[in-house]
Amino acid sequence: MTTTTTTDLVFDQALRSAIVTTERPPRASALSASLAFSWRALLKIKHVPEQLGDVVGIPIIFTLLFTYMFGGALAGTTGDYLQFLLPGSLVMAVLMVSMYAGVGLNTDVTKGVFDRFRTLPIWRPALIVGGLLGDVLRYVIASALVIGLGLVMGYHPAGGVIGVLSGVALLLVFAFGLGWVWTTLGLLMRTPSAVMNMGMLVLFPLTFASNVFVDPSTLPGWLRVFVDANPVTHLVTAERSLMDGTATAAEIIWVLVASAALAAVFAPLTMWIYRNKQ
Amino acid sequence: MPEQSESAVETRGLTKTFGATRAVDEVDLTVPAGSIYGLLGPNGAGKTTLVRMLATLTRPDAGHARVLGYDLADEADAIRSRVSLTGQFASVDEDLTGRENLVLLGRLLGHRRAQAKERADELLDAFGLSDAANRTVHTYSGGMRRRLDIGASIVVTPDLIFLDEPTTGLDPRSRNQVWQIVRALADDGCTVLLTTQYLDEADQLADRIAVIDRGTMIAEGTSTELKASVGSGVLRVRLSAPEQRAAAARVLERTLRTSVHLESDPTALSTQAAGPEGATFALTELSRAGMEIADFALGQPSLDEVFLALTGHPATITEAS
């Protein structure tokens, strides 16, 4: 027999009363399960705020570098270039942050907490939908940082507060659609850093071969074909127009349709992999 | 609703292959409701894969299973609402605090916010984690993490709980606490299916044990039955002089006509003895041959010996998968 200490006895009594079978609560609704996961995403930002650093850092550095290094050469003055660049930087910042949807999901898979969530009697997409909803706060923080920096540097949005806010809102919709691409990758790749590398591999060509940094009219023909087809180009065009107060319905609808198309393809794909993951 | 069945788990021919490896190979398992059931086997034996299939995480390639009366293939959602899994690696979120982890699970399981908080505090208290409740889990020791992990599995008390190697890597005190938790769960009527590579753990906790090796179930029964199936008791002899051991082994082999196991202690050797008479005879023969016996013991075989007898290799050797 092992000796039983007093602390163990106290432990045992509390233990037994906690274990006694309790009434099983009714199943959580799809909405409350998703919101519980968004709450988790918010807690992670609170406990590990530095996770935003590396991805928001890149657009901030690029905004500063491109404006002051190339701005004068590209647009005559750095001020004129910043007017052109800032909506693009904003898009770049949020797209980079959106990768975290995949990185975070992959971390859950590799750490084992994913298994617990998958054995819960909940609406199955809740983990991913809730995570993407929680990411909205990250996007808002990243947007605020880039726009704040722009304003400090002298950016003047002709579209005013409404223009900027609707620009951010449209960007959030697109990031939610794109998030499903990252969750698909997050379930397919082996490690969180592999998801990150793959994300960079996709995002760098898409953001550089677009109209984020330069006006595509000077590009060689073959590259223009790519740039014009690039969804990031369309997104940046819509963002510029909104923030300049000159947006057309067609520009906005293009982005909304693209966001819906991304979700329509990659949400079912994510869920299929989720269900069949070993 | 299925009829209340006697078995918490029943599998027939359950099989899972990964490439060329048959991780679980036609396993027929019956876990009586309300019992503590041990799956015993070395690393890579297929225990985890078996548990993951039963917890609806991995799909079987062949065979059938009923868990709490529900069909594994068709009623996975009903199973999920009545079972919990504590995985081999911490299945809690390390970036969150202990309390936040439990509140999160309470909310996901349908508790309202206040209920979820109340239940979280009750569990933190019961598992001796109140002081660490507001610290993020990555600051927890292995034992604390494991207790939180089990606590997370009983936010709503399940009818069946899977514990995959619940004490691997824990210090003796933490291990005792986990054992206490397992016994308390079973006393409340919860069926516990645990995997372990520790023979004494299965011996101490489990009402019935299935021995798993290379994906197949090679023996099943109570600890006593398993020991009896290996045969008579074990005679263990320690000599005063290690250099006499080889000669002593020959004497024992000749008199008892069984193989002799040389233990890691250079003076000790053990063998199957056909009851007290056989043992007495063997000891007499040893003395007659001039061996000086320091001490001897005749006992039931340990599960270690059971494993050796059943598989031909010791349980502690890790199988390459």
Spacing of C-alpha B304 from chain mean position = 13
DSSP-derived letter for residue A70 is I
**Poorest-confidence range of A128-137, A171-180, B83-92?**
B83-92
Q: Which residues contact A198 (CB under 8 A, 6 or more apart)?
A: A185, A189
- Residues of chain B contacting residue A20, judged by C-beta atoms under 8 Å apart: 157, 188
pLDDT of residue B263: 85
Mutation test of the interface with chain A: which of B82, B86, B108, B125, choosing the one with the most A Cβ atoms within 10 A? B108
pLDDT tens by residue, A182-199: 999 999 999 999 999 999
Residue type, A97: V
What average pLDDT does the structure give for chain A? 90
* CB-based burial label for B317 (10 Å; 0-12, 13-18, 19+): exposed
A238-242 CB contacts, 8 Å cutoff, 24+ apart: A238/A170, A239/A87, A239/A88, A239/A90, A239/A91, A239/A167, A239/A170, A239/A171, A240/A84, A240/A87, A240/A88, A242/A87, A242/A159, A242/A163, A242/A164, A242/A166, A242/A167, A242/A170
pLDDT of residue B1: 45
- Residues of chain A contacting residue B181, judged by C-beta atoms under 8 Å apart: 15, 19
Q: What are phi and psi of B28, to 5 degrees?
A: -110, 110
Could you tell me which chain A residue has the CA closest to the CA of B84? A119
Chain A CB within 8 Å of residue B131 CB = no
Mutation test of the interface with chain A: which of B93, B103, B129, B182, choosing the one with the most A Cβ atoms within 10 A? B93
Give the mean model confidence (pLDDT) for residues A10-31: 83
pLDDT of residue A8: 62
Whether B154 sits inside 8 A of A19 (CB atoms) is: yes
pTM tops 0.95: no
Given a cut of 60, whether residue A1 has pLDDT beyond it is: no
B59-62 CB contacts, 8 Å cutoff, 24+ apart: B59/A276, B59/A278, B60/B14, B60/B15, B60/B16, B60/B24, B61/B15, B61/B16, B61/B17, B62/B13, B62/B14, B62/B15, B62/B26
- Residues of chain B contacting residue A12, judged by C-beta atoms under 8 Å apart: 180, 184
Pair B114, B88: CB distance under 8 Å? no
Q: Can you give the residue ranges of every domain in chain B?
A: 7-228, 232-300
Architecture of the B7-228 domain: 3-Layer(aba) Sandwich (3.40)
Interface of B with A in 56-75 (CB under 8 A): 56-59
Sites in chain B below the pLDDT cut of 50: 1, 3, 317-321
pLDDT of residue B321: 35
Whether A17 sits inside 8 A of B81 (CB atoms) is: no
- Residues of chain A contacting residue B102, judged by C-beta atoms under 8 Å apart: none
- As a CATH number, domain B232-300 is 3.30.70.100
pLDDT tens by residue, A222-231: 999 999 999 9
pLDDT of residue B231: 64
Could you tell me which chain A residue has the CA closest to the CA of B77? A121
pLDDT tens by residue, A143-165: 999 999 999 999 999 999 999 99
Instruction: Choose the closest CB to B91 out of A26, A112, A278.
Output: A112
Whats the size of chain B, residue-wise? 321
- Compute the distance between CA of residue A135 and CA of residue A194 in angstroms, rounded to an integer: 20
ipTM score of complex? 0.87
- Residues of chain B contacting residue A48, judged by C-beta atoms under 8 Å apart: 95
Short-list A168, A82, A89, A121, CA closest to B109: A121
